[in-house]
Amino acid sequence: GIEGSISGVNLAEKFISKLRSFGVFPQRAEVTDWVKDGGNFVVFTNDGERYLTRTLIIATGTKPKESVLRCEGDIEMSWRKTSNFLNFRSIKPSCVLILGGGDAAFDYAISLASSGWKVKILFRREHPRALKILVERALMFSQISIEPSFLPEFVRLSTCGVELWGNRYGEKCVFYADFLLEATGRIPEDKLLKGLNPPSSLDGRVEGVEGLFIAGDLRRMRSRQAVISAGDGMASAMAAGEYILQKRK
């Protein structure tokens, strides 16, 4: 069970731990393509492996929007500016700027502050778009501060860190840190859909392609919450199991 609140990252870790207790060990690989071959699917990964399966559930979620922030300075220091939160899990805690005022930005800030990071959140509006409970939880950390009404212009990279330049209340300003994490929105990671429309069925079943299901953020597009995605995944998994049993009869 889960007591109290939990971040999205920690919730995912609990899911993986539970899977392992049932003898299911997730493999890390990038799926590059899939094809339907008779009654089976063939799934291809970037390491050259091929997997054969009777059913396929696509739950690739979302990806960060492409950055529009102009970048200057030492290009070799581009790793200091990222939209991938997972990059920070292998970095010694220091100081980070988070650009964005939504749920993801505040969730990232809470996770990083819990690990010892000093965090400053900057966003365009006067008030953040994030859920009130997330904002309140973030401000409980002394190492998290917020800077509203900030309009970013460009970021300058160097061996010393990042400089985020912009405009706040009509005046030029700059913020300094070791890293910059952009959390300014996400879009569906739909490359593997191959033009298929997300299904409207409750179990994510794709009409016209037997054994194919779509689940989670990729199907919902909106209402992107971990608990909703988990429920979607469960519904698709149960439907996939029923499909396999029917084919065995």
Nearest CA to 173 out of 182, 181, 164 is that of 164
Instruction: Please report the pLDDT score of residue 84 as a whole number.
Output: 87
Instruction: Please report the pLDDT score of residue 65 as a whole number.
Output: 86
Query: Which residues 6+ apart lie within 8 Å of 1 measured at CB?
Result: none
Cβ atoms of 104 and 61 within 8 Å: the answer is no
- Residues paired with residue 37 on neighbouring β-strands, in sequence order: 40
Handedness of CA 193, 196, 200, 204 (dihedral sign): negative
Instruction: Please report the pLDDT score of residue 191 as a whole number.
Output: 92
| Residue found under tokens 């070799």 | 76
Per-residue pLDDT in tens (0 to 9) along the chain, 249 residues: 666 666 666 777 888 898 899 998 988 899 999 999 988 999 999 999 999 999 999 988 888 888 888 999 988 888 899 988 888 878 999 999 999 999 889 999 999 999 999 999 999 999 999 999 999 999 999 999 999 999 999 999 998 899 999 999 999 999 999 999 999 888 888 999 988 887 877 788 998 899 999 988 877 655 556 667 777 788 888 988 888 888 876
Domains of the chain: 8-63+187-248 (3.50.50.60), 66-183 (3.50.50.60)
Cα 143 to Cα 93, 109, 121, 168, 227: the distances in Å are 12, 10, 11, 22, 28
| Count of beta carbons in the 10 Å neighbourhood of residue 110 | 20
Token code pair at residue 66: 């492409």
Amino acid letter at 40?
Answer: N
Instruction: Please report the pLDDT score of residue 11 as a whole number.
Output: 77
E strand map for the chain: 31-37, 40-45, 50-53, 56-58, 62-64, 70-73, 81-82, 95-99, 118-122, 144-147, 150-158, 161-168, 171-177, 179-182, 186-188, 212-214
Side-chain-facing half-sphere of 111: CA atoms under 13 Å: 19
